[in-house]
Amino acid sequence: MHRTRARLSDGREIVYYDEAPGRVPVPDPRGLPPVEPVCEVRRDPLTGDHVTITAHRNARTFLPPADQCPLCPGGPASEVPDASYEVAVFENRFPSFDVRTPPVPPVVDGVPGGVPRARGKGRCEVVCFTDDHAASMALLPVSRVRTVVDAWADRTAELSAIPGVRQVFVFENRGVEIGVTLHHPHGQIYAYPFVTPRTERMLAMAAGRDLFGEVLAAERAGPRVVAAGEHWTAYVPAAARWPVEVHLMPHRHVPDLAALDDGERDELAVLYRDLLRRCDTLYGDPLPYVAGWHQAPAGEGRDLVRLHLELFSVRRAPGKIKYLAGSESGMAAWINDVPPEAAAARLRGVTAGGASG
């Protein structure tokens, strides 16, 4: 993997990841004004959760026609000035977190006792998997998926080192049912200035034990394994929340993507693509999904939280969507209509279709 850095016309960084050296970046001709993000984080006094406020994101691009896609290379509206690319990563033009955001008052006005607020320091990046607008991660050659894995690992290491960043989350949203606003194959990376609520709960559950090792050993011995290799196992968790939900976990304890060795990255590229192809075959058309890499916080709990992927879909049957009802949305009390064992059997039984390579 070869990394090349450049700047967009408004000062944001763009990084190219190529399988071969020699890229000379093309200057961004757009003449954009400097970015002026306004991101703040408020703390819910009832739950302790962090809530991010980012009014500027209301102006972000929403489902443009293919000929105006900002992720396709070289066009007048493109965020990637080069005529072609393999994997490109750039700072989000509409970030939820940004180190350049201005200071805010320490508390929210008009609330008895005060609600804490702080700058939304951090970084948000877009990861373009390919310059082919009509492709998908599942249809890429294994070599390209491997380059994406290396890019994820490289960005995780770099963003984790930013002062004030406490956790890095790598994820992909796909499908309008999920809320995707750009169809071009891409994912995102959030560098949070706090530890996320889900990870805080994992840290509490894992205290004093090898929780992830125990869960993986139990799942590998049970009926919910979907696919496995020397270094990784994909399984439907016993307490799956979603009608389609698969976790992919390394057999070795590693805190984040940057800690994976070459053998683990090689196998991950194969198994992850296989998993995505199984998902796309499940109902006969591309599955809308969220695929998120849960990593240990940057400075704490790195011996407790093991890197793992959680992939889930809102599709519960052909043509049917699981909408979050009052129990899930209002109380975070989940109800799943599909038994995890049945979901695992269906995923095992489908053939991972798609192009070879």
| 331 vs 178: CA distance, rounded Å | 21
Q: What is the pLDDT of residue 320?
A: 86
Residues in the chain where the model's pLDDT stays below 70:
57-63, 110-112, 352-357
Task: Check if 2-195 and 198-349 are the same fold.
Answer: yes
Binding residues for Zn(2+), by number, are 69, 72, 133, 184
Distance of alpha carbon 69 from alpha carbon 62, whole angstroms: 10
- At 63 the pLDDT is 65
Query: How many angstroms separate the CA atoms of 244 and 288, rounded?
Result: 10
Active site residue 231: no
**Res 35: pLDDT:** 85
List residues forming the annotated binding site. Answer: 69, 72, 133, 184
User: In this predicted structure, what is the pLDDT of residue 322?
Assistant: 87
* pLDDT tens sequence across 32-75: 998 888 899 999 989 999 999 997 765 566 567 778 899 999 97
Q: Each residue of 217-246: pLDDT tens digit?
A: 999 999 999 999 999 999 999 999 999 999
**Catalytic annotation, pick one of 50, 186, 294, 308:** 186
What Cα–Cα distance (Å) separates residue 62 from each residue in 94, 183, 211?
A: 12, 10, 41
Report the candidate in 42, 9, 11 with the shortest Cα–Cα distance to residue 108.
42
Q: Are 323 and 335 in contact (CB under 8 A)?
A: no
Domain ranges of the chain: 2-195, 198-349
Buried b (16+ CB within 10 A) or exposed e, 42-69: bbeeeeeebebebebbeeeeeebeeeeb
Looking at 3.30.565.10, 3.40.50.800, 3.30.428.10, 3.20.20.70, the CATH number of the domain 2-195 comes to 3.30.428.10
Query: What's domain 198-349's architecture?
Result: 2-Layer Sandwich (3.30)
Tell me the C-alpha distance between 61 and 71, whole Å. 11
- Give the model's pLDDT for residue 355: 39
* pTM of this structure: 0.94
